[in-house]
Copies of this chain bind each other. A is one copy, B any other.
């Protein structure tokens, strides 16, 4: 049974495993002070074209979000997030555990707009309500959609002029950046946000996210906060080595491009048989709408999430591809769905 369930089903890209083996018996400083972490930080700074940023490696996405957001906010300050945002739903109240309210705005496409933020600001005007201070976006979003460079610029300017922190969760940033014809760069991400993450876990690493902090006011004592939340790995080399590899020879972008291509291939195959989609996604998560009968048949050969009931006979499923997705599996899925439809027609 082949799985399109998520982008963390396999281990790490072989180059990463190789690098772990080669460096294994080196004696290194702990807690991210090793040469590999320092080297990876240099590479990222060079890629972004900014030596004045701070870069921290943290083990996972929820961990990164909760450390960053709780470090950036004072106790009465709140986040604004799309109602589909990972922090708003799928992190077991991690942000609230650190004491901060998440104000959700309704969103059909996983994205936050200036209009929605404006409404929140207009409502929250005195000390009986929380003070909205940070805008959380994810790029690509939980629905596979992306913010274009232009959209990010608009958000960025609005946040700046309203004294709001713009933070981007990049668990799937690679996928967002490697969409065909995208001209979004890491340098853009850095310019437009106060802080953003570059996800490793879902793009070829065993684990690890890089957190980039540009805003000077948010940098101070940040390692204290990573340590306090249990995010400072003793063998920090494990994270450093992986990001060293991911940013060698554009591996990070090659892997994300492969993931997107595999998803696009699935999309194309599904479109060919007339399939509709819950939402139009150019990235590595797609949401085709299928007959429940079809889904049942597909489930015998493939693993995936049934995302949402559409009506009594149809549901949207989620298919996720990754750096490790095999083209043959994609073709087989398309073949299977064509068969399914063919046999449907016979009935």
**Contact indicator A10/B26 (Cβ below 8 Å):** yes
- The number of chain A residues with a CB under 8 A from chain B is 76
CB neighbours of A30 from chain B (8 A): 6, 8-9
Q: How many copies does the complex hold?
A: 4
Partner of A89, one of B14, B63, B129: B129
> Cβ of B221 and Cβ of A127 under 8 Å apart?
yes
Roughly how many angstroms separate A91 CA and B127 CA in the complex, as a whole number? Answer: 9
- Answer whether residue A270 sits at the interface, using C-beta atoms and an 8 A cutoff: no
State how many angstroms separate the Cβ of A315 from the closest Cβ of chain B.
15
Q: How far is the CA of A105 from the CA of B92 in the complex (A)?
A: 18
Interface of A, secondary structure class, is loop
Closest to A128 in B: B90
Residue numbers in B under 8 Å from A64 (CB-CB): 230
Give the distance in Å from the alpha carbon of A141 to the alpha carbon of B59 in the complex: 27
Q: Distance (Å) between the CB of A261 and the closest chain B CB?
A: 19
Q: Which residues of B contact A225 (CB under 8 A)?
A: 75-76
- Does A234 contact B201, Cβ atoms closer than 8 Å? yes
**Most chain B CB within a 10 A radius of its CB, from A71, A128, A223:** A128
**CB distance A76 to B224 under 8 Å?**
yes
Q: Which residue of B lies closest to A230 (CB)?
A: B63
Do A221 and B96 touch across chains, with their CB atoms under 8 A apart?
Answer: no
A27-74 contacts to B, CB under 8 A, are 27-31, 59-67, 70-71, 74
Alpha-carbon distance A32/B98, docked complex (angstroms): 24
Q: Are B66 and A75 in contact (CB under 8 A)?
A: no
